Amino acid sequence: MDDFQQLAAGISDALKSFGNEFTSVWLIVQLGLIALAGIVGTLTAAVLRRRLDIVSLSMGWPPLLRLFARHLLDNIGTIIFVLTILSMRHSMLAMTWPSRSYLLGVAASLATAWVVIALVAGLIRNQFVYRLVAVSAWALAALSILGLLQPTTEALDSVAVVVGGLRITPLLAIKTTVLMMFTLWMANAASDFLDKRVQSSTDLTPSIAVLIGKLIRLLLISFAILIVLSTVGIDLSALALFSGAVGVGLGFGLQKIVSNLVSGIILLADKSIKPGDVISVGDHFGRVGNMGARYTSVDTRDGREYLIPNEDFITQRVANWTYSSDLVRLFVKFNTTYDSDPRQAQEAAVEAALSIERVLKKPAPQCMLTEFGSTSIEFELWFWIKDPAAGVTNVKSDVLLALWDTLAKQGVNIPKPGPARVIYELAKDKAAHGTETPPQGKSPFPG
């Protein structure tokens, strides 16, 4: 508490000194000069911003240099303010005592510190981290310029709470928070840079590249946390109580999160699912996008992106259409009447499949006669594609349309349902939509 009393006494003395000086004409003069310098800086900066096109001027410069030039133009008013204040103080020092221009020196020092910090911290792209670093650094600089840095730190360090052998003070909490946020930002920036380099490597498979990127991020974040704890002087052995509590929390409350994390590592390690694979899990069919620590995104053909927990890929049955090969065999069924030549129908079906651009020539399409029905001959047309990510239903539709045209051209007839069949199908369709009781018994119609 003595440190807080000393800090309060120092602030009180400074305010009394300022109050005593307020009656002095030189204080009024300095305040007027500071206001005049602010007006000069603001007006000059407005003119320069209208006449300078920093975007076209910095065209072709490196990204960091362009960013620095933009922040320099943003702070040009403060820079002109500092130069004006320094010239005013230099003139006053030549004419009168230094104490009569002290306030000008303080204003120039504070403004200079703000410009330097803004230009350096401006290279940080994250706006939140930029503001945090800029405000924290300027607060330290201001306290140092005013001579209050040491009393403030001693006062914040005088109040402490001991938890499990760890002495927690406001100063420790502030230092830890600021350093933690800054180092975590640095770790994320470095991991993003390294992850881009890993992803661009052609010698690594997509799953291994993702796994290496996740491990790099985890190691850098862990390293950053250890550095901060060591820097602020926290004994890691004093955190045994907290680590035990975290362990209990992981065992009870975070089972699913840990399960998904471990499942994600397993998926990346065994390469059963890779970014770009076409899979179907449950009711979802699509292309694997991002594989995160907790979930895997599956992009579907209708524009939706499903975030499926990694645990589902371990515990459920997953169909990977492109696990070892991009080739996928599809089939469509069709019927012909008994007065049509079945061999001619097979040839027409193969010709129809080959007319579709996405259907492969090798392996060649095949048409198989599967059954002699009571009213028609039943066939299955098999064909192969190598781009299931482009859709499966659409290529089936194209093949059926080509099959319709080709069979008509070859004179092969497709059986048309009679009135009774139409009534039966309508009743079955209404039952499927829940608007009518489904027809009972076995269907009297084949197919």
Q: How confident is the model at residue 15 (pLDDT cuts 50, 70, 90)?
A: low
Minimal CA–CA distance to 413: which of 334, 337, 333? 337
Q: How confident is the model at residue 334 (pLDDT cuts 50, 70, 90)?
A: very high
pLDDT of 368: 93
pLDDT of 67: 77
Minimal CA–CA distance to 265: which of 292, 300, 226? 292
Q: How confident is the model at residue 9 (pLDDT cuts 50, 70, 90)?
A: low
Burial class (CB within 10 angstroms; exposed 0-12, middle 13-18, buried 19+) of 365: buried
pTM as predicted: 0.46
Higher pLDDT, 395 or 13: 395
Q: What is the DSSP string of 289-313?
A: EEE-SSEEEEE-TTS-EEEEEHHHH
Q: Strand, helix or coil at 63? A: helix
CB 272 within 8 A of CB 288: no
pLDDT score of 305 more than 60: yes
Report residue 431 as tokens.
């039952």
Query: How many angstroms separate the CA atoms of 222 and 423, rounded?
Result: 69
Query: How many angstroms separate the CA atoms of 373 and 338, rounded?
Result: 10
pLDDT score of 149 more than 80: no
Highest mean pLDDT among 74-78, 164-168, 232-236: 74-78
Higher pLDDT, 174 or 361: 361
> Over the stretch 235-284, which tens digit does the pLDDT of each residue have?
666 555 556 666 666 566 567 777 777 887 787 777 778 887 888 887 77
> Over the stretch 104-142, which tens digit does the pLDDT of each residue have?
888 888 888 888 888 877 767 767 777 777 787 878 788
The domains located in the chain, with CATH, are 2-158 (no CATH), 166-253 (1.10.287), 258-320 (2.30.30.60), 328-416 (3.30.70.100)
Report residue 291 as tokens.
């594989």
> Over the stretch 364-379, which tens digit does the pLDDT of each residue have?
999 999 999 888 899 9
pLDDT score of 363 more than 80: yes
- The separation between the first and the last C-alpha atoms of the chain, rounded to the nearest angstrom, is 91
Helices (H) and strands (E) in the chain, counts: 16, 10
High-pLDDT (> 70) share of the chain, %: 80
Q: Strand, helix or coil at 219? A: helix
> Over the stretch 271-303, which tens digit does the pLDDT of each residue have?
778 887 888 887 778 888 888 777 888 888 777
pLDDT of 400: 93
Q: How confident is the model at residue 349 (pLDDT cuts 50, 70, 90)?
A: very high
Query: How many angstroms separate the CA atoms of 297 and 305, rounded?
Result: 6
Mean pLDDT lowest for which of 94-108, 330-344, 348-362?
94-108
Crossing angle, helix 170-199 and helix 127-145, to 10 degrees? Answer: 140
Highest mean pLDDT among 44-48, 225-229, 351-355, 419-423: 351-355
pLDDT score of 200 more than 70: yes
Q: How confident is the model at residue 447 (pLDDT cuts 50, 70, 90)?
A: very low
pLDDT of 404: 92
Q: How confident is the model at residue 13 (pLDDT cuts 50, 70, 90)?
A: low
The residue-averaged pLDDT of 76-81 equals 88
pLDDT of 18: 52
> Over the stretch 397-446, which tens digit does the pLDDT of each residue have?
999 999 999 998 888 888 876 554 544 455 555 555 555 544 444 444 44
